[in-house]
Amino acid sequence: TARAEMKTEECTHSISVGHNAFFDLGFLYAASNRSNLKNPFHQFSTIDTVSLSALCYGETVLAKAIRVADIEWNDASAHSALYDTQKTAELFCQIFNAQVYS
């Protein structure tokens, strides 16, 4: 079960990362409540790639930030939850690993 996996992995107080992450937090909290799971996300720590991409690339729109970051983007695949999540992860990793913010 999800609860057993969380306990095995000691998944407590995870930091959520997302593009416009604050929009998604309500859905994540509701899903954990419906599943009778303790909210695994740290209450005060969320990393939002909207802010990071604005700072690093001057763009807040995911597709535009991805293009400026020179990451492959497919308009036909955009706006599916999985595709956008994968591209957001790529964007976050590129920003974090490049340390263009320092």
Residues marked active site are found at: 79
- Contact residues for 5 (Cβ-Cβ < 8 A; gap 6+): 11
CA atoms within 13 A on the CB side of 91: 33
Gap between the terminal Cα atoms of the chain: 41
CB 41 within 8 A of CB 25: yes
